[in-house]
Amino acid sequence: MNASLKTERLILRKLALHDASFIFELVNTPQWIRFIGNRNVNTLSDSKEYIIRILKTPTVQYWIVTLNDQSTPIGIVTLIKRTYLEHRDIGFAFLPEYQKNGYALEASQAVLNATLQKNSGATVLATTLRDNVNSIQLLAKLGFSFLKEIDVEGEPLLIYSIAEK
C-alpha cells in the first residue's frame, strides 16, 4: 500500500510519532469514545505509546488525513485485520469541525480504491454500531452492503462488505 495517497482536497500519509497531539485530541472526542471506545489515552505520553503500539502491529494501517493546502491533520482512515473478521476492516474518524464536509468519503474512497486495485478479488469489511447512523450512511455512499450482525465481547456490531469488481 502506498505510503501516501492524494485526492483533490486531501493528503493521506502514514501515521507517525509526531502525530501524538492530534491522536490525543481525536481519540478523546465524544464521537470516538461513543462509537469506537475509550482508548485510555489521557496524556501526550499515552498518545505516543498508543501510536508506537499501532506502528508495531503489522495488521494495522493508519493514514493521517490532512487538507492539501496545509499540514493540519483532520482525521484518520484505517485498515485493520481483526481476529474476528475474515477480511480487513476499514475505519474512519474525523475531528468534529471537519465532519459533514465530504472529507471522510473522499479519504475512505482513496484507501478503498488503492486497496481494491492492488489486491485483485479483494474484499474489505467495515464494522459499526447500529446507532452510528453517520457511519452507516457513509458506508452506503462508498458502495458497502450490509452483510450480517455479529457479537464481539457482548457488543453487537453490524458488518458491511465491499469487493473488487
**What's this model's pTM, rounded to 2 decimal places?**
0.92
Per-residue pLDDT of the chain (165 residues; tens, 9 = 90+): 456 899 999 999 999 999 999 999 999 999 999 999 999 999 999 999 999 999 999 999 999 999 997 788 999 999 999 999 999 999 999 999 999 999 999 999 999 999 887 776 789 999 999 999 999 999 999 999 999 999 998 899 999 999 875
Helix/strand/coil (H, E, C) string of the chain? CCCEEECCCEEEEECCHHHHHHHHHHHCCHHHHHHCCCCCCCCHHHHHHHHHHHHCCCCEEEEEEEECCCCCEEEEEEEECCCCCCCCEEEEEECHHHCCCCHHHHHHHHHHHHHHHHCCCCEEEEEECCCCHHHHHHHHHHCCEEEEEEEECCEEEEEEEEECC
pLDDT at 73: 96
Q: Where are the domains of the chain?
A: 4-163
pLDDT of residue 165: 57
CATH of 4-163, one of 3.40.50.2000, 1.10.540.10, 3.40.630.30, 3.40.50.1820: 3.40.630.30
Residue 163: predicted pLDDT: 85
